Structure 1
């Protein structure tokens, strides 16, 4: 308790030369608040300490806390992270990294005025959605398209527009929940539509849908179960059969794909995820999917389908609340143009990562191993470095049970060092996230971006040099 009396006052801290220097850079009120927060944090830490600590040492402890808080708050909380996990669409790491073309296009549109809602040819107000609508219709074969801020919003808007206060028929086996507690039944309730479940968890037939149709039915709904699989004694209604029933009963069919994909992926061995164009060609009236998953673009909810239905969604008052800004449109258009005019396999990171061959991955892992050996030679903190075969994942709710063969480097630190090493790497600049297997660190090369190998080698060497045996 004597330590609490030795804690410097706020006024004393503000007279410190280092604090004065910071006040010259940042607002005084901001710095006073930070000093107060750092002092209170130290007070809580000292409350139960018995050993006596000198006032000068307490002042130094506050200064360290102040500088850490200023760095975190003033420097921004988002940090560059090197993804060494092998999970391509890592939701916690922002999912798809954008390609250079999309980034350059977005930066150009961000630093100047642009024609977001202005028709330059006619010299009058234009429509923001037109910038991506034409390219989306060309890529998917749909009549019209609309973009909102994420796929949950796309589903909500579609249901609210097409089925508010009426019934929507869904297979019980497709009432999915995805990350963030986004549940199809809850979204339907919020949209104002009334859910009608048919079939059982593992088996649903077209006859179940047909029997449930009545004068209150507004929509037949299909959700692609990309984030889980039921194996064994199962039966789901083929999309073509649902479309045929919808046409016979004059009811629209809406499909939530979750992860939409445009690129031919057969040579990757990933055949389960339905391509958007195939769903449109099957006759589905409305298809929704994400922009930042297998498409490889920014977070967005993309709606494609019949023109009359999409136009009705554009007029819905919800669209204003769910609309995307100029940066999202620019990033999405820049990504889509790679599919239409460019080379997505080379210019969209997600597509490039998924398309890497076994030989390419092995070569990449060998280069990383060589760099690590060079940078850590003679350092006692590394016990062993080894090239290993791994199993990577698509992530982002797609292919939940599917493992992709990969390569990486296994690092064994001198004991007891793995936990501390992993924490230091997480807190580094840039941060590095890895995997672990028992007492070893695993670095998958599939998800390393160009230039990451050198950064990784420097970070690993830095951990050992600074901490010795950690």
Structure 2
């Protein structure tokens, strides 16, 4: 494009004042606010000007109708929240990219209602004096786990760092070679040890670590025996690991506290329901652990939080450490965690039915089959869509039940109208967003992570995409 042609094109660029006189712009101003429309309009015109100077724009781009439509699209996109609902079709129940555990409906309702008002957090209503901010959760944790005391911080990584800093600074911490984990976000146990001021002392080997390895490694410099949930991997084959009860015996012999970093923090007995691989919080404490720490937003099914429970003396040391003030959560976490813990007081069966993460992990084959067949029937009625029944493996996710597939069911979906990658993109970027997996050039929807009320929404979204 010649300079003369570029100049002629730039002269077609409308002025902001002229555009603002259109009825459509008035409607946009009422919908989004005049200041936002003006700012976005100027930004759009600046980008058109830059494209023209670069020779990357045509005369049709400068049509006032097209400019106004693009402005409307940009405003709608700008108003779309970044943090928004996603329908999880991956089969990964605790998907880190989707915020891990969805809250129980009654917990979410309570959270919304209470946040409309001032909320008791750190005041004793009886005396009117300042109180303990985690008291409402701590009483429930004591009751549910048998712990002497407990406290809550922002996440389990924070809980681990706080434990090491408060209890083992300048002392040795014994950890099995097979548990020197690195999980997502480059969280590495050796690095956390260093940040906490503790000295790592690895014992045993990667695949076999016995109680006697800890016993022989204990010395006058030992400040803690740390048992770490392996989270996102599993060592199989010629393996052996010390039971938590054996470690507690070693710790008692040498006067060294045993701390169990449990990861998921499961409050129900999954093993009795056919899912092994997660320790039960109460079991670890009853076995003699001085402290346990675990996440709030994994199998517990609550908000992101790190929970420390066990010896009252050790919990109090954590509370008095300077890091504690920096790690304590806000009112939203306390409200959601308290309401989630209250569900567990009703017993395991009701907890499983009420807490989405537990229900999805433990959904029966009959429930999954019914959901699969309904979605298959409804999607198969859409033209230009090929839908096939599929046996699939789901996962608990977020390090829970590590490397353990959970048998599930799904659908394999393709369309001659759209490439699979484009169909997946449209599913992800629409409203509501649907996150599938893509495998063997097909869309895969695992029904384990779908709710029954989402099935009609999924069908409507596919219909909308095929019609566009």
- Same fold at TM > 0.5: yes
2-side partners of 1:75 and 1:7: how far apart? 31
1:149–1:324 contact (8 Å) kept in structure 2: yes
2:303–2:336 CA contact under 8 A, matched in 1: yes
1:378-409 C-alpha deviation (Å, 9 max, x unpaired): x2x21x22222211111111223211111122
Quick one: which of 318, 327, 344 aligns to 1:322? 327
Q: Which moved more, 1:361-370 or 1:227-236?
A: 227-236
TM-score (structure 1 length as normaliser): 0.91
Residue from 432, 435, 441 that aligns with 1:433: 435
1:418 paired residue among 404, 408, 420? 420
Whole-Å Cα distance in 2 between the matches of residues 211 and 76 of structure 1? Answer: 56
Match of 2:317 in 1: 312
Which residue is equivalent to 2:457? Answer: 455
Shift of 1:196: 1.9
Counterpart contact for 2:48–2:57, Cα < 8 Å: no
Other-structure match for 2:340: 335
Distance 1:6 1:214 in 2: 83
C-alpha spacing 1:6/1:229, structure 2 compared with 1 (3 Å): farther
Structure 2 CA distance for aligned equivalents of residues 118 and 71 of structure 1: 43
Q: 1:98 aligned to 79, 89, 103, which one? A: 103
Structure 1 residues 13 and 153: alpha-carbon distance in aligned structure 2, compared to 1, 3 A threshold? farther
Q: How far apart in 2 are the matches of 1:325 and 1:10?
A: 48
1:226 matched residue in structure 2: 231
- Corresponding residue for 2:360? 353
Number of the residue aligned with 1:185 = 190
- 2:371 corresponds in structure 1 to 364
Query: Match of 1:88, SS?
Result: coil
* Structure 1 equivalent of residue 176 of structure 2: 171
Change (3 A) 1:237 1:71: same
- Using the size of structure 2 for normalisation, the TM-score is 0.91
Answer yes or no: is 1:149 the counterpart of 2:176: no
Q: 1:197-212 residue pairs with structure 2 within 5 A?
A: 197-212=202-217
Residue 9 of structure 1 deviates from its aligned partner by 6.6
CA drift of 1:328 comes to 0.9
Q: How many residues align?
A: 460
- For 1:426 and 1:13, the matched residues in 2 are separated by 37
Q: Secondary structure at the match of 2:185?
A: helix
1:34 to 23, 40, 62: 40
Q: Report the 3-state secondary structure (helix = DSSP H, G, I; strand = E; otherwise coil) of the residue aligned with 2:449.
A: coil
1:41 to partner: Cα distance: 4.4
Instruction: Label 1:135 to 1:183 Cα distance change in 2 as closer, same or farther (>3 A).
Output: same
Unpaired segments ≥5 residues, structure 2: none
Does the 8 A contact of 2:173 with 2:223 survive in 1?
yes
Which deviations, in whole Å up to 9, do the C-alpha atoms of 1:44-73 show, x marking residues without a partner? 65666567424633x555544543443333
Go from structure 1 to structure 2 and tell me whether the alpha carbon gap of 1:44 and 1:56 turns closer, same or farther (over 3 Å shift).
closer
Distance 1:273 1:50, change over 3 A: closer
1:87-166 counterparts in 2 under 5 A? 87-166=92-171
Match of 1:280 among 273, 277, 285: 285
Please point out which of 263, 267, 271 is paired with 2:268.
263
Q: Are residues 428 and 247 of structure 1, via their aligned partners in 2, closer, same or farther at CA, if it must alter by over 3 Å?
A: same
Change (3 A) 1:6 1:391: farther
Moved more, 433-442 or 149-158: 433-442
Indicate conservation of the 8 Å contact 1:268/1:354, yes or no: no
- C-alpha change, 1:195 and 1:349, in structure 2 (3 Å) is same
What secondary structure is seen at the aligned counterpart in 2 of 1:180?
A: coil
The one of 236, 243, 246 aligned to 1:241: 246
Asked whether the equivalents of residues 246 and 252 of structure 1 are also in contact (C-alpha less than 8 Å), the reply is: yes
What SS class does the counterpart of residue 220 from structure 1 fall into?
strand
What is the SS of the residue equivalent to 1:119? coil
> What is the Cα deviation at residue 259 of structure 1?
0.9
1:408 to 390, 402, 410: 410
Deviations 1:282-325 (A, max 9, x none): 11111111111111111111111111101111122211111111
After superposition, the CA RMSD in angstroms is 2.3
Q: Are 1:10 and 1:35, in contact at CA under 8 Å, matched by a contact in 2? A: no
Tell me which residue corresponds to 2:86.
Answer: 81
Contact residue 293 and residue 396 of structure 1 kept, 8 A: yes
Separation in structure 1 between the aligned mates of residue 140 and residue 183 of structure 2, nearest angstrom: 29
What is the Cα deviation at residue 228 of structure 1?
0.5
Give the deviation of 1:40 after TM superposition.
Answer: 4.7
Q: What residue ranges of structure 1 are gaps of 5+ in the alignment?
A: none
| CA separation of 1:79 and 1:16: change in aligned 2, threshold 3 A | farther
* Partner Cα separation in structure 2 for residue 274 and residue 208 of structure 1: 22
Partners of 1:312 and 1:338 lie apart in 2 by 29
**Map 1:367-382 → 2, pairs under 5 A:** 367-374=374-381, 376=382, 379=383, 381-382=384-385
Contact 1:42–1:62 at 8 Å: present in 2 too? no
| 2:396 equivalent to 1:394 | yes
